[in-house]
Amino acid sequence: MSVWTNPIYERELLGRLRSWKTVAAILAVALVTCGLVLLRWPSDATVDRVSQGAVLVFRPLAFAMALAVMMLVPAFPATSLVTERQRGTLALLLASPTSPLQLYLGKLLSNVLLSLLLISVSLPALAACYAMGGVTWADHILPLLLVLTAMAVQYSAIGLWISARVGSADAALRLTYATVLTLTVLSFGPLVIVGNLSGILATVARWLTMVSPLSALQEITGAQAAASAVGVGTGWKEFLGATAAITLGLAWATIRQLDPLLLDRARPTGLVVGRGAAKAGFFRRVAYIVDPNKRKPGIPRWINPIMVKEFRTRRFGRLHWLIRLVAACAIVSLLLTVVAATGTVSWGVERIAGPLVLMQVALLLLVGPSLGANLIAGEVESGGWEILRATPISARKVLVGKIMSVLWTMLLVLLATLPGYAVMSYIQPSTSGQVGNVILSLLVAVCMVVSISACVSGFIKSTAAATATAYGVLLTLFAGTLVVWLARGRPFGPVFVERVLMLNPAAAALSEMNTPGFEQYNLTPMAWWIGLGISAACLGVLAVRIWRLTKPD
């Protein structure tokens, strides 16, 4: 059986092509890419062979395509195998003549082929950049297509590897997008820590940048100056080599996991009831009434019961998980403190502030959507919303309790990452006022992440779909506005870029720290008011949605 006659490949490919979501994604990518070129298309019939006008359009186009691949490619493979297991069809497939290798290749190649279809709609825009002059096929377009294809293959392999090991689709989406963001953004963290130092640690830190497509895109688009500012020396060829190694390793691990014996998970045996069960049950009931240590403490009137319920029932809300979160955030805080101390001495405040803010925002984007997207969608999907609707708890208490359960966790994460700025203020006291504005910008970012994720959760019944949608919306808001910033000057003017950046509180934080490329924009305090306005609008829509869901059918 060849690859192209693989029944898994045909089933997955035809099923995806018949979905309206695939058509919508293709149309959206085509409109965005063609729109970027039309904004810069020359009015006269001249071709620019010398200047960098076409390169300035090619740069945001390349980053926009990379962002589209990051948003759209990992979702389907992340839920593919775990959905098969939940439906009971994975065991049937493994019991059929289809081998684990054919099963893996069918799912991988179907997603990669659809990704190539998604990438191919940008070819007219790339051809237009070539026709404008300054962009060549050998140095720009062909390497970009190879990098985008490598990203699609790598993210598909990551999604399938995670999907074979988790127990639910929403958990698979959280871990997959977290891994993608870690490889893309957080892989630059060790390089920022070591700075200009030499040795084994510096060499390993530079090797880690090879797994990020940002270093490859910076070389292709001619942004080596921005890359060399933090010591990045790798390019697109190194990225292709690292991607091939990661993909082969994950493929081998996933195919080994597709074993019926490894996938067979024993069910809980339950409680064995013997002769003394009735007598033991009687004594337990008496102890429950008499001994207060056998009873859960009551919820005071001044505490929202929904918030308590979320912390007691949510996996990341129990005490042991909160302790682990505090410990992890403390470690991150120490690392960021080291980054701020060594980086400020080695690079300077202006160079270290940008990566520090981006790493914090990436951490918020890792935690926030996974918690917020589960608030309403998880209740509806599990059937718990019907029980909640039968209680006398008002819609206002439900809204406040749900939001506060996520907001306290996000504030805990943010609080643990702030000592790095204290170190920067101590080293350079003149930046204390700027650090305060950065903290306010990050607080606004927390509000936006929580409110947008919760609002998405109120309108989607599936937790997996809500998680993927929340990640897509937030990545578009936080990373998409930075794509517009990359196109500043051509085709977008400074006024338009400044207004777009006001939607992104991370850009406001970068502007306050005078990060190169952002010092010319005056984003605060308008960016704070816009972010709070977006948060209030999302909470208002969510309040109306919860009020309607609490009413009888």
Which of 75-79, 174-178, 188-192, 393-397 bottoms out in mean pLDDT, i.e. has the lowest? 188-192
Contact predicate 221/62, CB 8 Å: yes
Query: Does 99 reside within a domain?
Result: yes
Residue 342 sits in the same domain as residue 206: no
Which of 268-272, 384-388, 444-448, 509-513 bottoms out in mean pLDDT, i.e. has the lowest? 268-272
Domain boundaries, position 543: 299-553
Residue 86 sits in the same domain as residue 159: yes
Nearest to 475 by CA among 366, 372, 374: 366
Per-residue pLDDT at 6: 72
Q: Virtual CA dihedral for 119, 121, 124, 130, nearest 10 degrees?
A: -10
Query: Does 283 reside within a domain?
Result: no
Query: Angle 392-397-401 (CA atoms, 0-180°, nearest 5)?
Result: 125
The better pLDDT of the pair 451, 84 is held by 451
Residues 402-432 have pLDDT tens digits of 888 888 888 877 776 677 667 667 766 766 6
Q: What is the mean pLDDT of residues 250-272?
A: 70
Query: Does 180 reside within a domain?
Result: yes
Residue 107 sits in the same domain as residue 190: yes
Residue 30 sits in the same domain as residue 141: yes
Residue 222 sits in the same domain as residue 334: no
Residue 323 sits in the same domain as residue 256: no
Tokens linked to 440: 């306010």
Residue type, 540: G
Query: Does 452 reside within a domain?
Result: yes
Residue 147 sits in the same domain as residue 195: yes
Q: What is the mean pLDDT of residues 283-310?
A: 65
3-class SS shares of the chain: helix, strand, coil, % to 5: 75, 0, 25
Helix (H, G, I), strand (E, B) or coil at 297: coil
**Band of residue 530 on the pLDDT scale cut at 50, 70, 90:** very high
Among 263, 281, 312, where does a domain finish? 263
Overall pTM > 0.85? no
Per-residue pLDDT at 230: 47
Among 210, 243, 263, where does a domain finish? 263
d(CA 420, CA 335): 8
- Specify which of 137-151, 270-284, 312-326, 357-371 reaches the highest per-range mean pLDDT: 137-151
Residue 314 sits in the same domain as residue 192: no
**Band of residue 452 on the pLDDT scale cut at 50, 70, 90:** very high
Among 208, 236, 263, where does a domain finish? 263
Per-residue pLDDT at 533: 93
How many Cβ atoms sit within 10 Å of the Cβ of residue 552? 5
Query: Does 286 reside within a domain?
Result: no
Residue 175 sits in the same domain as residue 324: no
**Band of residue 157 on the pLDDT scale cut at 50, 70, 90:** very high
d(CA 128, CA 115): 21
Residue 175 sits in the same domain as residue 321: no
Instruction: Report percent pLDDT > 90 for the chain.
Output: 7
Residue 319 sits in the same domain as residue 171: no
Residue 310 sits in the same domain as residue 175: no
Nearest to 369 by CA among 330, 409, 400: 409
Query: What's the domain count of the chain?
Result: 2
Average pLDDT, the chain: 77
List of residues 6+ apart from 455 with CB closer than 8 A: 538, 539, 541, 542, 545
**Band of residue 225 on the pLDDT scale cut at 50, 70, 90:** very low
Specify the residue for token string 């684990």.
100
